[in-house]
């Protein structure tokens, strides 16, 4: 039975890279008929941010990344928040000490600082390891009895892992293959802190084991910790889960990790939902609030670091890979072993492209619901069927729902201003006469598309040798206020005879006759 977990620390809003980690875990769980677990890793109380846990849950829910067990829904392996599991970790630290895999260390923060400075002065980096631990204050250098005496006297201490000297530790990674590191490169990490809490490393291993996690799928930034984790499993005599370390999400330029500042600089969110920082009050933009559809964000993120492999293009075209994939298709096609080792660049244009594609998949009714909300905000009411019709006609021009009002407002309210550049270009001398003629035709010809086409474009404009672009764009200017919009006569049919006549008359009155 496959069991995976997403294990964020509630230190702030969830970065979009973290969302991708959750997504890959979810795809993997679902395709293997396994379980997906949400565990909150809050052992570092100093970095706790109120609201972050709720934010994480809301963001993943918005994206359709579902859990089978977790802090918000419970389950048979709970509790799922590490601070609620606090009493269970101590025994594991004790076990490691008993078995000779860990030791007590009493070094005061100032003493450690002094050591670091001493090394820096010699252009070296201090590492607490088998070469230095003898010169520090711990149960190895002081001896068991002295260590016990200090503990009994209430002296604060931490528990450190004791790496054996000079052994090669191999992490088998599903994406990277074997990654080997020598223990000399690793420091004796703190496992248990003086505040009685485990560190991330100990809690993570104990929880993954006791929650029977089979696959650890997480960001590349944890790869350097993986040898310690492998050693911890060994020290406990537990079977380690399989590991997969996902590539970083990179800046659009490709150098370095995508940061919040890149998002601000380039105008795209790096968080799924808008985040209001409880301390500074600073607001960071979110995909949801910017009008991204959750399906689009999921699809885009799935392809940042993985693709389903190429297939022959249509009609023998170059091989292509399918880009638009629903969650169900992703679950079918995803393959953890095909995840790239290299970082994936963020591409804003591609993100917009995905949103546009998914927007087109919405029904006219769904688009109309967005539009009706915006009409309400502008104090406009309109018949529902009419709004649905406009939505259907205009949605292909839309990438973000927020663009609907600007793109469609003239279907609901007459223009009060006319684009000066378009007037200059299209509203030639004699145009008031031509527009008056259009009004006359609207009154006399049958109000039907073909009949109006014949009467205005064929009989009047072509029949009199007038400039088609000039007259039709002036009509558009009169009806829309600028020279944009759908097919002119379709628009006239939508607005109806009375409204069109009113608008054309108003343009005649407002713009008036011009001289050459
Ligand atoms: N709490 C860690 C984080 O926030 C989890 C790392 C892991 O998945 O092991 O990234």
What is the DSSP track for 30-83? HHTT-EEEE-B----GGG--TTHHHHHHHHHHHHT---SEETTTB-TT---BGG
The confidence band for 267, taking pLDDT boundaries of 50, 70 and 90, is confident
**CA 351 and chain centroid, separation:** 10
The arithmetic mean of pLDDT across residues 310-323, rounded, is 75
Atom of ligand 1 nearest to the CA of 218: 8
Report how far residue 218's alpha carbon sits from residue 225's, in angstroms, rounded to the nearest whole number.
12
Closest residue CA from atom 2 of ligand 1? 8
Ligand 1 centroid from CA 227, angstroms = 15
What percent of the chain has a predicted confidence (pLDDT) above 90?
A: 91
User: For residue 401, is pLDDT > 80?
Assistant: yes
Sequence-distant (≥ 6) Cβ neighbours of residue 508 within 8 angstroms: 432, 435, 436, 478
Closest residue CA from atom 3 of ligand 1? 8
User: For residue 312, is pLDDT > 80?
Assistant: no
Q: Contact, 118 vs 136, CB < 8 A? A: no
pLDDT-wise least confident of 62-76, 315-329, 421-435: 315-329
The arithmetic mean of pLDDT across residues 254-264, rounded, is 84
Average pLDDT, the chain: 95
Which of 115, 257, 260, 389 is flagged as catalytic? Answer: 260
* 198-226 burial: b if 16+ Cβ within 10 Å, else e: bbbbbbbbbbbbebebbbbbbbbebbebb
Q: Distance from first CA to last CA of the chain, Å, rounded?
A: 81
Ligand 1 centroid from CA 246, angstroms = 12
41, 83, 228, best to mutate for ligand 1 pocket (most atoms within 8 Å of CB): 41
3, 4, 6, 9, best to mutate for ligand 1 pocket (most atoms within 8 Å of CB): 9
User: Encoding tokens for residue 359?
Assistant: 């927007």
The arithmetic mean of pLDDT across residues 63-86, rounded, is 97
User: For residue 516, is pLDDT > 80?
Assistant: no
What's the pLDDT at 265? 83
Per-residue pLDDT tens for 125-177? 999 999 999 999 999 999 999 999 999 999 999 999 999 999 999 999 999 99
What's the pLDDT at 70? 98
Q: Is 260 a catalytic residue?
A: yes
What's the pLDDT at 318? 72
User: For residue 449, is pLDDT > 80?
Assistant: yes
Sequence-distant (≥ 6) Cβ neighbours of residue 257 within 8 angstroms: 17, 248, 249, 250, 251, 343
The confidence band for 263, taking pLDDT boundaries of 50, 70 and 90, is confident
What's the pLDDT at 254? 80
Ligand 1 centroid from CA 217, angstroms = 9
The confidence band for 474, taking pLDDT boundaries of 50, 70 and 90, is very high
71, 200, 226, best to mutate for ligand 1 pocket (most atoms within 8 Å of CB): 200
User: Encoding tokens for residue 437?
Assistant: 């003629």
The arithmetic mean of pLDDT across residues 77-81, rounded, is 97
Pocket of ligand 1 (CB under 6 A): 7-9, 41, 200, 204, 218, 222
Backbone phi, then psi, for 6, in 5-degree steps? -110, 130
What's the pLDDT at 262? 85
Backbone phi, then psi, for 152, in 5-degree steps? -60, -30
Per-residue pLDDT tens for 183-226? 999 999 999 999 999 999 999 999 999 999 999 999 999 999 99
Report how far residue 128's alpha carbon sits from residue 367's, in angstroms, rounded to the nearest whole number.
60
Identify which of 454, 456, 450, 463 has the alpha carbon closest to the alpha carbon of residue 490. Answer: 450
DSSP per residue over 232-275, as a string? HHHHHT----EEEEEPPEEPTTSSSB--HHHHHHHT--SBSS-E
pLDDT-wise least confident of 34-43, 301-310, 314-323, 348-357: 314-323
Atom of ligand 1 nearest to the CA of 11: 4
* 135-145 burial: b if 16+ Cβ within 10 Å, else e: ebbbbbebeee
What's the pLDDT at 320? 75
Atom of ligand 1 nearest to the CA of 21: 8
Atom of ligand 1 nearest to the CA of 225: 9
């Amino acid at each position: 039975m496959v069991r995976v977990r997403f294990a964020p620390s509630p230190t702030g809003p969830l970065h979009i890279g973290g969302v991708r980690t959750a997504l890959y875990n979810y795809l993997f769980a679902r395709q293997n008929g396994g379980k997906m677990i949400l565990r909150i890793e809050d052992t570092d109380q100093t970095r706790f941010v109120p609201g972050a846990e709720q934010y994480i849950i809301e963001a993943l829910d918005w994206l359709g990344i579902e859990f089978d067990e977790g802090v918000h829904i419970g389950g048979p392996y709970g509790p799922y928040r590490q601070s609620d599991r606090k009493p269970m970790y101590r025994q594991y630290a004790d076990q490691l000490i008993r078995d000779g895999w860990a030791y007590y260390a009493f070094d005061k923060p100032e003493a450690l600082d002094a050591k670091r400075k001493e090394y820096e002065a010699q252009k070296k980096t201090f590492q607490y390891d088998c070469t230095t631990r003898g010169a520090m204050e711990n149960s190895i250098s002081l001896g068991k009895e002295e260590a016990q005496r200090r503990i009994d006297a209430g002296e604060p201490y931490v528990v450190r892992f004791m790496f054996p000297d000079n052994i090669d530790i191999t992490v088998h990674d599903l994406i990277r293959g074997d990654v080997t590191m020598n223990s000399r490169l690793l420091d004796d990490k703190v496992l248990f802190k003086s505040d009685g809490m485990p560190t991330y490393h100990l809690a993570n291993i104990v929880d993954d084991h006791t929650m029977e996690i089979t696959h650890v799928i997480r960001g590349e930034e944890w790869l350097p910790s993986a040898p310690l984790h492998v050693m911890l499993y060994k020290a406990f005599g537990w079977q380690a889960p399989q590991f997969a370390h996902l590539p970083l999400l990179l800046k659009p330029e490709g150098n370095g990790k995508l940061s919040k500042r890149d998002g601000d600089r380039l105008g795209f969110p790096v968080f799924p939902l808008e985040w209001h920082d409880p301390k500074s009050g600073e607001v960071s933009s979110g995909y949801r609030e910017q009008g991204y559809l959750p399906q689009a964000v999921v699809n885009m993120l799935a392809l940042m670091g993985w693709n389903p492999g190429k297939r022959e293009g249509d009609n023998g075209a170059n091989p292509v890979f399918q880009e638009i994939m629903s969650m169900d298709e992703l679950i079918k096609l995803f393959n953890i072993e095909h995840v790239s080792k290299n970082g994936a660049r963020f591409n804003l244009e591609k993100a917009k492209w995905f949103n546009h594609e998914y927007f087109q998949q919405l029904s006219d009714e769904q688009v109309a619901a967005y539009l009706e909300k915006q009409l309400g905000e502008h104090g406009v009411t309109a018949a529902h069927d009419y709004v649905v019709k406009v939505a259907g006609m205009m949605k292909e021009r839309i990438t973000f729902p927020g663009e609907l009002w600007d793109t469609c407002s003239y279907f609901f309210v007459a223009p009060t201003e006319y684009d000066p550049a378009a007037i200059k270009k299209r509203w030639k001398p004699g145009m008031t006469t031509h527009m008056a003629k259009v009004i006359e035709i609207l009154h006399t010809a049958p109000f039907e598309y073909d009949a109006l086409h014949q009467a205005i474009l064929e009989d009047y404009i072509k029949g009199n040798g007038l400039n088609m672009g000039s007259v039709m764009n002036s009509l558009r200017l009169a009806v829309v206020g600028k020279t944009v919009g759908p097919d002119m006569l379709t628009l006239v049919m939508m607005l109806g005879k009375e409204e069109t006549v009113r608008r054309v008359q108003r343009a005649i009155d407002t713009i008036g006759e011009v001289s050459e």
